[in-house]
């Protein structure tokens, strides 16, 4: 029994050790492959290097989900970095490089796409939606207030009508009571004479 437990512990320990070794190797490999593109480019001027670094952080990888070209390790990102490098080294401005990439890959590669007919909803859609929600909320509150005011007016009218009816009924009841009292007194007076 003790021998079996020691064997199981040893096997579990080996599995955990192998897992951590593979994990550490994968992390080192990923760090090396991402850093390679940063150090393998030779620029003719420091301005070109700054422009390149700014562009690869500003351009989105078409394959990756919300990851820029600088952080992506996909093949298309590598190709895009190479194209950006070539464009920058040929003396093109940031706008010219972005226009080239947009023409080749579409507006998706830009985190801030240009304002045109195709991207109008992207830019102004959230504002239009927020305005519509606020408008309908205020309209609903206003209509509810009007409905409550009408109910109050109706309640006051009903109360006034009820007050008038109840005072008329009360007057009738008082008149009837007085009449009944008089009749009772009259009957008692007649009965006393008999």
| 91 and 123 in a common domain | no
Q: Which residue has the higher pLDDT, 38 or 95?
A: 95
pLDDT (0 to 100) of residue 149: 75
176 has a pLDDT exceeding 60: yes
**Whether 74 and 123 share a structural domain:** no
What is the predicted pLDDT for the residue at 189?
66
The predicted-structure confidence for 51-79, as pLDDT tens digits, reads as follows 999 999 999 998 887 888 998 888 999 99
DSSP secondary structure letters along 86-133:
HHHHTT--HHHHHHHHHHHH-GGGBSS---STTTHHHHHHHHHHHHHH
In this structure, the answer to whether residues 33 and 97 fall within a common structural domain is no
Flag the least confident range among 73-77, 81-85, 108-112, 132-136.
Answer: 108-112
* 84 pLDDT higher than 90: yes
What is the pLDDT, as a whole number, of residue 35? 46
Host domain of residue 182: 116-194
**36 pLDDT more than 50:** no
Q: 64 with 75, same domain?
A: yes
What's the CA gap between 129 and 40, in Å, rounded? 47
């Amino acid at each position: 029994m003790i021998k079996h437990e020691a064997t199981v512990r040893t096997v579990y320990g080996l599995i955990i050790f192998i897992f951590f070794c593979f994990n550490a190797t994968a992390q080192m490999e990923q760090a090396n492959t991402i850093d390679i593109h940063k150090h393998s480019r030779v620029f003719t001027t420091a301005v070109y290097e700054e422009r390149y670094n700014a562009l690869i952080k500003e351009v989105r990888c078409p394959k990756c989900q919300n990851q820029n070209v600088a952080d992506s390790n996909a093949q298309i990102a590598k190709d895009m970095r190479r194209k950006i490098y070539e464009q920058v080294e040929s003396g093109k401005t940031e706008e010219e490089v972005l226009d080239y990439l947009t023409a080749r890959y579409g507006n998706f590669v830009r985190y801030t796409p240009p304002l045109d007919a195709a991207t109008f909803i992207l830019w102004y859609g959230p504002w239009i939606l927020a305005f519509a929600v606020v408008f309908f909320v205020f309209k609903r509150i206003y209509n509810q207030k009007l409905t409550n005011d009408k109910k109050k007016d109706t309640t006051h009218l009903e109360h006034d009508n009820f007050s008038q009816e109840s005072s008329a009924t009360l007057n009738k009841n008082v008149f009837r009571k007085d009449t009944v009292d008089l009749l009772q007194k009259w009957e008692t007076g007649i009965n006393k004479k008999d």
